[in-house]
Amino acid sequence: MLEITKKKDNLRVGKLQTKKGEINTPFFMPIATKGAVKNIIPQELLEIGAEIVLGNTYHLWLHPGDELIARAGDLHKFMNWNKPILTDSGGFQVFSLGARAKGRHGKSGVKIIDEGVQFIDHESGKKYFLTPEKSIEIQLNLGSDIIMVLDECTPDPCTRKEMEESVERTIEWARRCKRYFESKTKDKEGGKRPLLFAIVQGGNYKDIREKCAKELVEIGFDGYAVGGMVPIEELDEVVKWVVPFLPEDKPRYVMGIGRPEEIVRLVNLGIDMFDCVIPTREGRHGRLFLRKGDISDANFYETININNEKYKEDFTPVDAHCDCLLCKNYTRAYLRHLFAVKEPLALRLASIHNLKFYLDLMKDLRKID
Catalytic residue among 74, 275, 319, 360: 275
Q: Are residues 255 and 320 in the same domain?
A: no
Q: Are residues 75 and 127 in the same domain?
A: yes
Q: What is the distance between the alpha carbons of residues 250 and 247, in angstroms, rounded to a whole number?
A: 6
Domain hosting 301: range is 283-365
Where among 275, 292, 317 does a domain terminate? 275
Q: Are 61 and 138 in contact (CB under 8 A)?
A: yes
The CATH number given to whatever domain includes residue 186 is 3.20.20.105
Mean pLDDT of 211-240: 95
Catalytic residue among 88, 151, 222, 319: 88
Q: What is the distance between the alpha carbons of residues 254 and 239, in angstroms, rounded to a whole number?
A: 8
Average pLDDT over the chain, rounded to an integer: 94
Q: Are residues 245 and 360 in the same domain?
A: no
Q: Which range is least confidently modeled, 12-21, 185-194, 325-334?
A: 185-194
Q: Are residues 60 and 170 in the same domain?
A: yes
Whether 294 is catalytic is: no
pTM for the predicted model, two decimal places: 0.96
Q: Are residues 331 and 234 in the same domain?
A: no
Q: What is the distance between the alpha carbons of residues 104 and 257, in angstroms, rounded to a whole number?
A: 29
Phi, psi of 22 (to 5 degrees): -95, 140
Phi, psi of 302 (to 5 degrees): -140, 165
DSSP class of 44:
H
Whether 275 is catalytic is: yes
Taking only the tens place, the pLDDT of each residue in 278-294 is 999 999 999 999 999 99
Q: Are residues 269 and 298 in the same domain?
A: no
Mean pLDDT of 340-365: 98
Q: Are residues 179 and 294 in the same domain?
A: no
